[in-house]
Amino acid sequence: MPYLALSFDALASDVERWSDALLEQGALSIDAEDRNAGTAREIARYGDPDCIDPELWPVCRVTALFPGGVDVRLILTRTSELLDLHPPATHSVESIEESDWVRLTQAQFPPLCVGGKLWIVPSWAEPVDSRAVNLRLDPGLAFGTGSHPTTRLCLQWLAQHLRRGESVLDYGCGSGILAIAAAMLGAAEVSGVDNDPQAVATSRSNALRNAVAARFESPDTMPEAQVDVVVANILADPLKLLAPILAKRVRAGGRIVLSGILGPQAASVGETYRRWFTIDLWGRDEEWVALAGTRCRDHG
């Protein structure tokens, strides 16, 4: 029997109440994300400890998963009455076949070639080219499988421009894919940081699986050291906030690669980093872009 996914928009102040009530009404899981995720109106939240706004996003897209056979629309109406809230103006219900879940997930992530010599290969697939650099990685809880345009842009830059023996820092490592790829492409010292403990644990596991030496940790335990290359695939707003921190990590003459940037945001991100770098647009994939630059030798 298929599952049923109910999706609707709710104010951030009401999301927790909706979640608790829907779970009481039989929901198996609840997910909330920015209603504008993936667009120029997306609001980045980076967990800044100085941020006084506890809300993730002003309006959230809430998705509740239910067993098949239940009246999801009746549950939505009943829940809104229990909460004394107006029913969502619009909502959708999608059927998800249980028997197709694994097959559909695997079909979304076939082996992926990046930069001509690097392949991202999930565990259920065989390498297309056994002589290529084959990075084993499965979709998981942490962001970064190589399929998203922002990750592809960073991988392409590494495959084309990383020099053997360079040191690399992956800031916001997610699954560890960029750091691991750098190690497999010839980097001598590789590290990654992330403020999500799950991402750090996943990155360490993926590095072990690919038999590469890479250090992963939280930003507050990262050693004060400069590297040849910093790669940061995050979002435009946190990239601008992190500019002084990332600049300090790049040695004079070293290079930086920034992604997670929508096309219209490129100018403002680039302007922020020009205090320390000669930087410009490097690549574009769909609506996303990557910037790359070199650390100036005469700036602090």
pLDDT in tens, the chain (300 residues): 678 999 999 988 888 889 989 998 998 888 888 776 655 555 554 443 333 334 457 888 899 989 888 999 999 999 999 998 888 988 999 887 765 555 655 666 788 888 788 998 988 888 888 889 999 987 654 556 677 889 999 999 999 999 999 999 999 998 999 999 999 999 999 999 999 888 899 999 999 999 999 999 998 888 889 999 999 999 999 999 999 999 999 999 999 999 999 999 999 999 999 999 999 999 999 889 999 999 997 554
Domain boundaries, the chain: 3-99, 141-295
**Residues constituting the chain:** 300
Q: What are phi and psi of 281, to 5 degrees?
A: -65, 130
Residue pLDDT, tens place only, 72-120: 999 999 999 999 888 898 899 988 776 555 565 566 678 888 878 899 8
At the second CATH level, the architecture of 141-295 is 3-Layer(aba) Sandwich (3.40)
Residue 153's DSSP bridge partners are none
Do the beta carbons of residue 173 and residue 200 sit within 8 Å?
Answer: yes
Token pair for residue 156? 């392409």
pTM (two decimals): 0.67
Sign of CA dihedral 57, 194, 248, 254: negative
pLDDT the model gives residue 16: 87
For residues 185 and 158, give the distance between their C-alpha atoms in angstroms, rounded to a whole number: 8
Token pair for residue 32? 């909330």
Q: What are phi and psi of 290, to 5 degrees?
A: -125, 140
pLDDT the model gives residue 49: 36
pLDDT the model gives residue 40: 55
Q: Does domain 3-99 have CATH number 3.30.70.260?
A: yes
Spell out the SS3 assignment of the chain: CCEEEEEEEEEHHHHHHHHHHHHHCCCCEEEEEECCCCCCCCCCCCCCCCCCCCCCCCEEEEEEEECCCCCHHHHHHHHHHHHCCCCCCCEEEEEECCCCHHHHHHHCCCCEEECCCEEEECCCCCCCCCCCEEEECCCCCCCCCCCCHHHHHHHHHHHHHCCCCCEEEEECCCCCHHHHHHHHCCCCEEEEECCCHHHHHHHHHHHHHCCCCCEEECHHHCCCCCEEEEEEECCHHHHHHCHHHHHHHEEEEEEEEEEEEEHHHHHHHHHHHCCCEEEEEEEEECCEEEEEEEECCCCC
For residues 254 and 247, give the distance between their C-alpha atoms in angstroms, rounded to a whole number: 10
Do the beta carbons of residue 61 and residue 9 sit within 8 Å?
Answer: yes
For residues 131 and 245, give the distance between their C-alpha atoms in angstroms, rounded to a whole number: 38
pLDDT the model gives residue 48: 39
Do the beta carbons of residue 191 and residue 216 sit within 8 Å?
Answer: yes
pLDDT the model gives residue 29: 85
Residue pLDDT, tens place only, 208-226: 999 999 999 998 888 889 9
Burial code (b: 16+ CB inside 10 Å, e: under 16) for 209-246 equals ebebebbbbeeeebeeeebbbbbbbbbbbbbbebbeeb
pLDDT the model gives residue 51: 37
Q: How far apart are the first and last CA of the chain?
A: 62
Residue located via tokens 């999608």 = 94
pLDDT the model gives residue 167: 98
User: What is the percent of the chain where pLDDT is above 90?
Assistant: 53
